[in-house]
């Protein structure tokens, strides 16, 4: 395995830990990524993992500084733009967040996570139709993203498209990784039951 592949693998593992695991799991992976980056003299990667550690510790301003440094080393690092945008969301800077999501898409247009997170944000600020476009794009790039189906289901639900929401929630369960948090799976299964009842009531 090349050094770059190892670090990419740690980035992916970290993303999974943040989405489905625990903060403890994520911290362990981020620290390992930082250690490996320093040993291999990849300064941009070290800045990226430093930024991740800051996010996990809710030090968003400091995280942005690390992501800015990572982007200087690699202007095509879509993940660094993505995570900088997420820091902007945490700081309440929504317009800036959308701007940096778009910069990330421009830098790395085939990176599904950026479309997912932009869609997640648009859904949360009430732009549900626009959110669906972004989430659908994310799924075209990476069809088995359970977390994206979850956000897509919520966007459909917010538009009153309950059948579409139900189908999306079913896909969440379908694509959840084995060993995924039992609590998350139970919550989705509960939503499926509730939506199924609602769809039947509306069709009567």
The CATH T-level fold of domain 110-204 is 1.25.40
181 — pLDDT class (breaks 50, 70, 90): low
- Given a contact cutoff of 8 angstroms between Cβ atoms, the answer to whether 112 and 95 are in contact is no
Which among 12, 39, 42 has a CA at the least distance from the CA of 26?
12
Given a cut of 90, whether residue 179 has pLDDT beyond it is: no
pLDDT score for 43: 94
Q: Is pTM beyond 0.85 here?
A: yes
Give the residue ranges of DSSP H helices in the chain: 3-20, 23-39, 43-56, 60-73, 78-90, 94-107, 112-124, 128-141, 146-158, 162-175, 182-203
Given a cut of 50, whether residue 134 has pLDDT beyond it is: yes
Higher pLDDT, 87 or 17: 87
Give the start-to-end residue ranges of the domains of the chain. 110-204
pLDDT score for 203: 77
pLDDT score for 189: 87
First CA to last CA across the chain, in angstroms? 58
Count of CB atoms situated within 10 Å of the CB of 170: 17
Q: In 3-state terms, what secondary structure has residue 22?
A: coil
């Amino acid at each position: 395995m090349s050094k770059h592949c190892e670090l990419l693998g740690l980035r992916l593992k970290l993303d999974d830990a943040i989405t489905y695991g625990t903060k403890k799991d994520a911290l362990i992976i981020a620290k390992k990524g930082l250690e490996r980056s320093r040993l291999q003299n990849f300064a941009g990667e070290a800045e990226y993992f430093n930024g991740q550690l800051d996010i996990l510790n809710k030090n968003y301003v400091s995280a942005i500084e690390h992501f800015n440094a990572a982007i200087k080393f690699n202007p095509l690092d879509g993940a660094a733009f993505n995570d900088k945008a997420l820091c902007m969301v945490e700081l309440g800077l929504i317009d800036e967040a959308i701007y940096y999501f778009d910069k990330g898409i421009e830098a790395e247009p085939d990176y599904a996570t950026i479309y997912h997170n932009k869609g997640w944000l648009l859904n949360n600020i009430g732009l549900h139709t626009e959110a669906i476009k972004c989430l659908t794009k994310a799924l075209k790039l990476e069809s088995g993203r359970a977390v994206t189906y979850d956000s897509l289901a919520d966007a459909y639900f917010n538009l009153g498209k309950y059948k579409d929401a139900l189908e999306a929630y079913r896909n969440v369960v379908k694509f959840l990784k084995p060993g995924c948090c039992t609590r998350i799976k139970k919550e989705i299964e509960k939503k499926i039951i509730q939506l199924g009842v609602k769809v039947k009531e509306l069709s009567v």
